[in-house]
């Protein structure tokens, strides 16, 4: 690159870092919104499950007192069937996240309507034998001619009626089948509606709603079929609940997977970084030409001037793309913030040029150390800000603190490239640090060491960040350590997948 085109690795890297930080923030914000939505949904579904269970429990409580149920021991199951129908319908509504559609307390207990479902009046008829059930429907239709609702009958009897009418084989004899077909025709003639429209199957069979011995002997007698029926419906609700919980976990997993870093994200970061790098180099190149008295807007640029800018922009694009990809990896595979990651990457880029000059013999070792600390100063300052936040730094130790942090960043980033010079570099940095602190009193020395200890936490992260074998393991363990360091209660820290599952189920 021509000398008059300034090189700005820090500007390029920090511009790339800004793009990466924005992309990371967008992913985090989206995940936060999605997680909040799932939490609210989980709360609503938990309430629906509780309401569904409450509906079923109403029947359990109702059958505990057989003496309070209308009818004699042979007919009490009729009112039980009504309670079961309403409870199951409402429980299913709740589990489907709908308003309950059935109501039994809005009608008179012994009136022409037993309950209402979706605004439709229902009369329930649970009589032993399908033909007997249809006889009771005919009696009701004659008694209440204005009734325009529907009749619920046992689902097994409804299936038998349809099978007989269709001529299918059943357990009934020929004469019984013919009598049942005539009853179906009578129901249609009496109500003026098709059988399937005026008669509907209930959720229960005839046996499902029987109290058993308790209808005669009271609550201390053995349970009857209705108790098994209610347990079966509760199991149905429980299965639905488990499926919903799994659905929530699946959605959360999909959201988190979508928020994870990806090759596509790295490619986007590299593309944005390349654009930023090209833009920075083009801008600085034009500025350099302006300082030479050449204004492109006045037509002062020669073909060589434009060529210089093109070369600079191309190299800037490459540098920006590499920087952005590196920053994307650092911020997404470790817990480094984008500004610090950008500073680390820009320091590495600048150090590379300093090292090249050192190996080319353009500068001696002392100049290499001086320039290395200078180009790492930005990364050190950003790292210190990341590590110690708003902590007040006494002015007497500011220079020593930044110098020490810059030196440690320099060693951390380039130790593997220095070979035998690593020991010399470490010794030189220690000598400079000792010189910088020799005038500090004991209290300031203690303060300096305390701040450097905080910075060392990031130093370890920085070293690990350049080890691809560790990146996959860092994210969870580092987030746990950071949460502990910030005083988050142990019980509130999600340390593993089991903790996450428990949190989503709560």
User: Which DSSP string corresponds to 55-100?
Assistant: HHHHHHHHTT-GGGSSS-TTTTHHHHHHHHHHHHHHHHHHHTT---
Q: Out of 187, 214, 247, pick the residue that ends a domain.
A: 247
Same domain? 92 vs 192: yes
pLDDT digits (tens, 9 = 90+) for 143-200: 999 999 999 999 999 999 999 999 988 888 989 999 999 999 999 999 999 999 999 9
Query: Based on the structure, what is the number of domains in the chain?
Result: 3
Torsion over CA: 457, 462, 463, 468 (sign):
positive
pLDDT at 365: 79
Residue 14 lies in a domain: no
Q: Are strands 150-153 and 199-201 parallel, antiparallel or unpaired?
A: parallel
- Integer Cα distance of 343 and 60 in angstroms: 67
Same domain? 496 vs 423: no
Same domain? 409 vs 493: no
Same domain? 366 vs 505: no
pLDDT at 360: 85
Same domain? 80 vs 194: yes
The residue ranges of the chain whose pLDDT is under 50 are 1-10, 262-263, 266, 270-271, 273-275, 277-280, 282-283, 287, 295-299, 301, 309, 311-313, 315-339, 385-393, 395, 397, 459-483, 485-487, 500, 503-504
What are the angstrom distances between the C-alpha of 25 and each of 20, 28, 38, 121?
8, 5, 20, 56
Instruction: Output the CA torsion 411→416→420→421 (10° steps).
Output: -30
Residue 335 lies in a domain: no
Domain that holds residue 197: 41-247
Same domain? 428 vs 383: yes
**CB of 477 within 8 A of CB of 464?**
no
Residue 29 lies in a domain: no
Q: Out of 210, 230, 247, pick the residue that ends a domain.
A: 247
Residue 294 lies in a domain: no
**CB of 198 within 8 A of CB of 161?**
no
Same domain? 414 vs 460: yes
Same domain? 154 vs 236: yes
CB atoms within 10 A of CB 145: 9
Residue 81 lies in a domain: yes
Residue by residue, what is the 3-state secondary structure of 238-252? HHHHHHHHHHHHHHH
Residue 265 lies in a domain: no
Residue 379 lies in a domain: yes
Same domain? 406 vs 473: no
Same domain? 53 vs 135: yes
Nearest to 203 by CA among 162, 149, 138, 158: 158
Same domain? 457 vs 493: no
Residue 91 lies in a domain: yes
- Integer Cα distance of 337 and 296 in angstroms: 39
- Integer Cα distance of 128 and 466 in angstroms: 80
Same domain? 455 vs 503: no
């Amino acid at each position: 690159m021509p000398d008059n085109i300034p090189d700005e690795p820090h500007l390029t890297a920090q511009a790339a870092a800004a793009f990466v930080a924005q992309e990371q923030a967008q992913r985090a914000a989206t995940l936060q919104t999605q997680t909040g939505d799932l939490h609210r949904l989980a709360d609503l579904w938990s309430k629906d499950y509780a309401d569904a269970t409450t509906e079923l429990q109403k029947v359990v409580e109702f059958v505990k007192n057989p003496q309070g149920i209308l009818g004699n021991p042979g007919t009490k199951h009729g009112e039980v069937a009504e309670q079961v129908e309403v409870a199951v319908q409402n429980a299913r509504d709740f589990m489907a996240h709908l308003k309950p559609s059935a109501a039994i307390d809005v009608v008179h207990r012994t009136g022409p309507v037993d309950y209402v479902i979706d605004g439709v009046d229902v009369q329930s008829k649970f009589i032993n034998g399908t033909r007997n059930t249809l006889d009771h429907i005919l009696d009701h239709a004659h008694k209440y001619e204005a009734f325009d609702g529907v009749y619920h009958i046992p689902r097994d009897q409804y299936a038998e009626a349809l099978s007989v009418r269709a001529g299918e084989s059943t357990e009934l004899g020929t004469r019984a089948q013919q009598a049942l077909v005539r009853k179906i025709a009578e129901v249609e003639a009496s109500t003026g509606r098709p059988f399937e429209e005026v008669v509907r199957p209930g959720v229960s069979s005839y046996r499902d709603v029987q109290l058993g011995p308790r209808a005669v002997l009271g609550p201390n007698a053995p349970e009857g079929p209705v108790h098994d029926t209610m347990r079966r419906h509760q199991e149905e609700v429980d299965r639905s609940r488990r499926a919903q919980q799994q659905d929530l976990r699946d959605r959360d997993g999909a959201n988190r997977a979508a928020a994870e870093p990806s090759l596509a994200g790295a490619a986007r970061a590299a593309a944005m970084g390349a654009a930023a790098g090209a833009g920075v180099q083009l801008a600085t190149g034009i500025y350099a030409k302006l300082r030479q008295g050449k204004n492109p807007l006045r037509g002062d640029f020669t073909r060589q001037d434009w060529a210089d800018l093109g070369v600079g922009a191309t190299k800037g694009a490459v540098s920006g793309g590499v920087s952005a990809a590196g920053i994307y990896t650092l911020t997404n595979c470790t817990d480094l913030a984008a500004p610090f990651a950008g500073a680390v990457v820009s320091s590495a880029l600048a150090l590379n040029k300093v090292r090249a000059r050192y190996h080319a013999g353009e500068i001696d070792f002392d100049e290499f150390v001086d320039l290395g600390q200078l180009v790492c100063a930005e990364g050190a300052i950003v790292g210190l800000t990341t590590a110690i936040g708003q902590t007040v730094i006494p002015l007497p130790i500011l220079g020593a603190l930044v110098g020490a942090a810059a030196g440690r960043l320099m060693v951390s980033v380039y130790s593997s490239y220095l070979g035998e010079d690593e020991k010399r570099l470490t010794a030189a940095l220690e000598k400079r640090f000792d010189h910088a602190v020799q005038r500090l009193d004991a209290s300031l020395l203690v303060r300096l060491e305390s701040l450097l200890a905080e910075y060392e936490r990031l130093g370890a992260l920085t070293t690990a960040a350049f080890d691809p074998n560790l990146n996959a393991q860092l994210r969870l363990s580092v987030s746990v350590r950071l949460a502990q360091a910030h005083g988050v209660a142990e019980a509130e820290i999600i340390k593993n997948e089991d903790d996450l599952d428990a949190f989503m189920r709560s």
